Amino acid sequence: MPEGPVLEVRDLSVTFPARGGAAPVMAVDRASFSIAPGETLGLVGQSGSGKTTTGRAVLQLQKASGGSVRLLGRELSGLSRGDLRRMRRHMQFVQQNPYSSLHPRLTIGQILSEPLEVHGAVPRDRMAERVAELLDLVNLDPAMVSRYPHEFSGGQRQRIVIARALAVNPDFVVCDEAVSALDVRTQAQIVRLLRDLQERLGLAYLFIAHDLALVRELAHRVAVMYSGQIVEIGPSDRVYASPGHPYTRMLLDAIPVPDPGVQRARLRTAPREMTFLDRTAGPCRFGEDHAATGSAPMHEIGPGHFVSCRFHPAETSTGPAHARS
């Protein structure tokens, strides 16, 4: 495994240009995080929070407007097309929809051979052997190599997508809502597969999802994104047990539980928390010295657990206390 973090992201920003007279949109606002070898960072938030844009910007599929992305110690922004292509061996992408991410007119063997050819990963006379290894790696029968995507179920297709991502032995994989298009049983199977592959291959994952219950099964740490900003980040057990930001609390309260009484209690408190979020300029009310930038300072509220404003469940009815730097 490499020494130090596999991925270091510092102050990453992505701004979409103005259209039709509207103001430019800052989709990602100075996001910072790192991922160690063999670690999964879960990136969570509601639709439109900037999660997918962050993942695409990290992979250099979306141009960033500012900040730094370092993979294996090498800065990715500003690389030439050739250098970036060579770095892509180390970073891969598992997309959300297994039905649209596989070419319908290529066999599975052709789909898995393509990245091997592009990156010259194995000699041509070993291509078929490597394709069979990849299918076996994701628990599919190598005899299926001549079949087409439409002959597979959704879960099988996602296994093929994962096999394609692992073809060139990457160090880092972005999984963008990688199981959200699957049924619950298949989701659990794919999550177990991703965990097993991580243990066997030492992979680092950025696991993007809106389902916090699912993220808890896989992520070592969790980063919570709200309106383009990371408002809380920390070890999964700490974030789930003691959320430090009202938005994180809301997301956790949205996780279904089998007790109707608990659900009703959550519904009673949710409107007050929503009112708090709606009446502030961002995810929490900032100190005057941060009003110009619109960025809240991060405070450490536990070992490795940082939040952009302080919040305690007992303060729900009156609004959280606001930390000032």
> Is the confidence at residue 280, as pLDDT, over 50?
no
* CA 313 to each of CA 146, 253, 266: distance values in angstroms, whole numbers, following the listed order: 56, 12, 12
What pLDDT was estimated at residue 271?
A: 45
DSSP code of 53? H
The fold of the 7-17+24-241 domain, in CATH, is Rossmann fold (3.40.50)
* Number of neighbours of residue 292 by Cβ within 10 angstroms: 8
DSSP code of 31? E
Residues 95-134: tens digit of each pLDDT: 888 788 899 999 999 999 999 998 888 888 899 999 999 9
Task: Quickly list DSSP for 204-270.
Answer: EEEEEES-HHHHHHH-SEEEEEETTEEEEEEEHHHHHHS--SHHHHHHHHTS--S-HHHHHHHHHHH
Cβ 145 vs Cβ 108: under 8 Å: yes
What pLDDT was estimated at residue 322?
A: 34
What pLDDT was estimated at residue 258?
A: 65
Domain boundaries, given as residue ranges, for the chain: 7-17+24-241, 245-288+310-325
Max Cα–Cα distance, the chain, nearest Å: 69
* Sheet of 66-71, strands arranged across: 25-35, 7-16, 66-71, 74-75
> Is the confidence at residue 312, as pLDDT, over 70?
no
Percent of the residues in the chain that have a pLDDT greater than 70, as a whole number: 82
Average pLDDT of every residue of the chain: 84
What pLDDT was estimated at residue 181?
A: 78
What pLDDT was estimated at residue 289?
A: 33
Closest by CA position to 238, among listed 282, 196, 300, 176: 300
> Is the confidence at residue 295, as pLDDT, over 80?
no
